[in-house]
Amino acid sequence: MNLLPEQYIQRSKNRVRSSRVAIIVIVALASVVAVATHSRIAVNSATEKLVVAQARANGALEVEADATTLELKKEKLKTFVDKYQETELPFAVGDIISTITNALPINVTVEELSFDVFESEDEKLITGHIAGFGSSDESIASVVSNFQTKPPFENVTMDFSRSRTIRGVRARGFRMSFSIDLSHNWEIQTVMASEGEQQ
């Protein structure tokens, strides 16, 4: 038998209900926090996976772009080689270069060699220019002398000769011009000139 007044009994019941509600609210909040934390972890993980996937995709695109670039370069090179093989050169480049090389003394270095071809109804002519350096005035003079006395070189002239320093050593730079008449035959020089010697 409960002897407490009714108002005390009701107050006690209200406290119990309030406690239960508070517990339910706390549990609900904890659940929300747990779900939010899990969602954030899931979002972070998904973001990391997305970044990795994007990096891999970018890498794949770069590889594909590189492969495409290489393929284009390969096609350009093939086109150049095909055109080169189909082109008929106006003169035997290899023979002329061999003759020029063998006409140079061993102490002369060539830095530049150029050719121009002039064709007309009456003649076919090459004009050439050689630039480089030698160890002395005598070595440069021997170059001019060799070219002046040996076919197929004609109209051999010294454009200039001046002092130079090559890797701390004094040298003599030069540039000379010549012409070759392609209507005449000549033999390739097979013996190299020595310093100060005419072939």
What pLDDT digit, counting tens, does each position of 120-147 carry?
777 788 899 999 999 888 888 888 888 8
Task: Write the CA distances from 97 to 38, 72, 120, 179, 191, integer angstroms.
Answer: 79, 33, 24, 13, 13
Identify the pLDDT of residue 198.
Answer: 40
Q: What are the residues facing 179 on neighbouring strands?
A: 127, 154
**Residue in 117, 115, 126, 107 with CA at minimum distance from that of residue 169:** 107
Question: Going edge to edge, which strands form the sheet with 124-134?
Answer: 108-119, 124-134, 169-181, 153-166
- Strand 153-166 relative to strand 124-134, pairing: unpaired
Is pTM beyond 0.75 here? Answer: no
- Strand 124-134 relative to strand 108-119, pairing: antiparallel
Q: Which helix (H) or strand (E) holds 38?
A: helix 6-86
- Strand 124-134 relative to strand 169-181, pairing: antiparallel
Q: What are the residues facing 169 on neighbouring strands?
A: 166
Identify the pLDDT of residue 90.
Answer: 56
Distance CA 134, CA 138 (A): 9
Mean pLDDT of 91-104: 78
26 vs 91 pLDDT, higher one:
26
pLDDT in tens, 144-190: 888 888 888 899 999 998 998 888 888 899 999 999 887 777 665 55
Share of residues in the chain with pLDDT > 70 (%): 68
**Residue in 163, 159, 144 with CA at minimum distance from that of residue 103:** 144
**Residue in 106, 113, 158, 157 with CA at minimum distance from that of residue 131:** 113
130 vs 12 pLDDT, higher one:
130
Residues 6+ apart with CB under 8 A from 97: 113
